[in-house]
Structure 1
Amino acid sequence: MIRRTGPVRPDWERTIEEQGLGFHRYVAQGDDGRPYWDESAYYSFTMAEVLGLEDTVTELHRMCLNAVDHVVREGRFGDYGIPERWWEPIAESWRRRDRHLYGRFDLCYDGRSPAKLLEYNADTPTSLVESAVVQWFWKEDTHPRADQWNSLHEALIDRWRELLPSGGLLHLAYSGADETGEDALTVGYMADVAAQAGLEVELLTMEDIGSDGHAFYDLAERRIEGLFKLYPWEWIVREPFGPLAVARQPKEPWVEPLWKMLLSNKALLAILWELYPGHPNLLPAYFDGPREMTAYAVKPLLGREGASMRLVQPHEVVETPGGYGAEGHVFQQLCPLPDFDGWRPVLGAWVVGDEPAGLGIRETRGLITGDTASFVPHLIED
Structure 2
Amino acid sequence: MVSSKHPNSTKFGTLLGVAQGGVCSYSSDYDSADEKDYPNRTSYRSYFDGIYMGYKWQCVEFARRWLYVNRGYIFNDVSMAYEIFNLRSVREIKSNRLLPLNAFRNGSTQHPEPGAMLIWDEGGEFEHTGHVAIISEILPNAIRIVEQNMDFVPWQNGRNYSREISARIGAQGDYWLQCSSKSGRILGWMLQTEDDTEAEHTPEATPHLFNVQLAHAKAHERDTKPWLNIANHDEAAYVDMMKGHVLSSVVEDFHDYYEISETALEQLETATDELHGMFMHATDYVLQHPELLSTFGFPDVILPRIKQSWDNRLNQLITSRFDFAMTEKGLKVYEYNCDSASCYMEVGKIQGKWAEHLDLKRGKDAGESLFESLVDAWKASDAKGIIHVLQDTDPEEDYHALFMQEAIETAGFTCKRVIGLHDLHYNENNEIVDDDNVPLRWVWKTWAWETALEQLREDVSASECPPLADDIINTQPKLADVLLRKEIMVYEPMWTLIPSNKAILPVLWTLFPNHPWLLETDHSLSETLKKNGYVAKPIVGRCGANIRLVDKNNKVLATKEGAFGERDYVYQQLWPLPKVGKYYVQICTFTAAGNYAGSGVRVDASMIIGKDSDCMALRVQQDDEFASA
Amino acid at match of 2:524: D
Is 1:332 the equivalent of 2:544? no
2:260 to 45, 62, 77: 45
Distance verdict in 2 for CA 1:346–1:82, change over 3 Å: same
Could you tell me how far apart the structure 2 residues matched to 1:311 and 1:6 are? 34
* 1:233 matched residue in structure 2: 449
Deviation at 1:282, TM superposition (A): 0.6
* 2:539 matched residue in structure 1: 301
1:214-253 matched pairs, under 5 angstroms: 214-239=430-455, 241=478, 244-245=481-482, 247-249=484-486, 251-253=487-489
Report the 3-state secondary structure (helix = DSSP H, G, I; strand = E; otherwise coil) of the residue aligned with 1:238: helix
Could you tell me how far apart the structure 2 residues matched to 1:262 and 1:73 are? 13
Deviation at 1:144, TM superposition (A): 3.8
* 1:155 matched residue in structure 2: 373
Could you tell me how far apart the structure 1 residues matched to 2:293 and 2:550 are? 28
Give deviations 1:321-361, integer Å, cap 9, x for gaps.
11113221111111111121232100111011121000110
56-65 or 363-372, larger mean C-alpha shift: 363-372
Distance verdict in 2 for CA 1:214–1:100, change over 3 Å: farther
Could you tell me how far apart the structure 1 residues matched to 2:455 and 2:585 are? 36
Distance verdict in 2 for CA 1:113–1:229, change over 3 Å: same
Amino acid at match of 1:268: I
Could you tell me how far apart the structure 2 residues matched to 1:196 and 1:282 are? 36
Report the 3-state secondary structure (helix = DSSP H, G, I; strand = E; otherwise coil) of the residue aligned with 2:541: coil
Amino acid at match of 2:498: L
Amino acid at match of 1:3: L
2:294 to 78, 85, 108: 78
* 2:415 matched residue in structure 1: 201
Deviation at 1:146, TM superposition (A): 2.9
Is 1:3 the equivalent of 2:214? yes
Is 1:186 the equivalent of 2:400? yes
Deviation at 1:145, TM superposition (A): 6.0
1:1-382 matched pairs, under 5 angstroms: 1-7=212-218, 10-11=222-223, 14-16=226-228, 18=230, 19-20=235-236, 21-22=238-239, 23-25=241-243, 34=250, 38-75=253-290, 76-97=292-313, 98-110=315-327, 112-141=328-357, 142-144=359-361, 146-150=363-367, 151-164=369-382, 167-176=384-393, 178=394, 181-208=395-422, 209-212=424-427, 214-239=430-455, 241=478, 244-245=481-482, 247-249=484-486, 251-294=487-530, 295-313=533-551, 314=553, 316-317=555-556, 318-382=558-622
52-61 or 315-324, larger mean C-alpha shift: 315-324
Fraction of identical pairs, as percent: 25
Could you tell me how far apart the structure 1 residues matched to 2:269 and 2:535 are? 26
Deviation at 1:64, TM superposition (A): 0.5
TM, length-normalised to structure 1: 0.90
Structure 2: unaligned runs, 5 residues or longer: 1-211, 457-477, 623-629
The answer on whether the counterparts of 2:559 and 2:608 sit within 8 Å (CA) in structure 1 is no
Amino acid at match of 2:496: K
Report the 3-state secondary structure (helix = DSSP H, G, I; strand = E; otherwise coil) of the residue aligned with 1:67: helix
Deviation at 1:218, TM superposition (A): 0.9
Report the 3-state secondary structure (helix = DSSP H, G, I; strand = E; otherwise coil) of the residue aligned with 1:273: helix
Distance verdict in 2 for CA 1:135–1:288, change over 3 Å: same
- Larger radius of gyration, structure 1 or 2? 2
Deviation at 1:84, TM superposition (A): 1.1
Amino acid at match of 1:88: P
The answer on whether the counterparts of 1:301 and 1:325 sit within 8 Å (CA) in structure 2 is no
Deviation at 1:371, TM superposition (A): 2.1
The answer on whether the counterparts of 1:343 and 1:365 sit within 8 Å (CA) in structure 2 is yes
Could you tell me how far apart the structure 2 residues matched to 1:244 and 1:356 are? 33
Per chain length, whose mean CA-contact separation is higher, i.e. which structure has more relative contact order (CA < 8 Å, sep 6+)? 1
> Number of residues paired by the alignment?
371
Alpha-carbon RMSD: 2.3
The answer on whether the counterparts of 1:38 and 1:374 sit within 8 Å (CA) in structure 2 is no
Deviation at 1:164, TM superposition (A): 4.0
Amino acid at match of 1:25: K
Distance verdict in 2 for CA 1:139–1:115, change over 3 Å: same
Deviation at 1:316, TM superposition (A): 2.3
Deviation at 1:237, TM superposition (A): 2.7
3-12 or 132-141, larger mean C-alpha shift: 3-12
Report the 3-state secondary structure (helix = DSSP H, G, I; strand = E; otherwise coil) of the residue aligned with 2:226: helix
Amino acid at match of 2:243: R
Could you tell me how far apart the structure 1 residues matched to 2:379 and 2:261 are? 32
Could you tell me how far apart the structure 2 residues matched to 1:80 and 1:259 are? 12
118-127 or 7-16, larger mean C-alpha shift: 7-16
Give deviations 1:258-300, integer Å, cap 9, x for gaps.
1000012111222211211101101111112244213111111
In terms of fraction of residues, the more helix-rich structure is 1
Report the 3-state secondary structure (helix = DSSP H, G, I; strand = E; otherwise coil) of the residue aligned with 1:307: coil
Could you tell me how far apart the structure 2 residues matched to 1:225 and 1:306 are? 33
The answer on whether the counterparts of 1:122 and 1:260 sit within 8 Å (CA) in structure 2 is yes
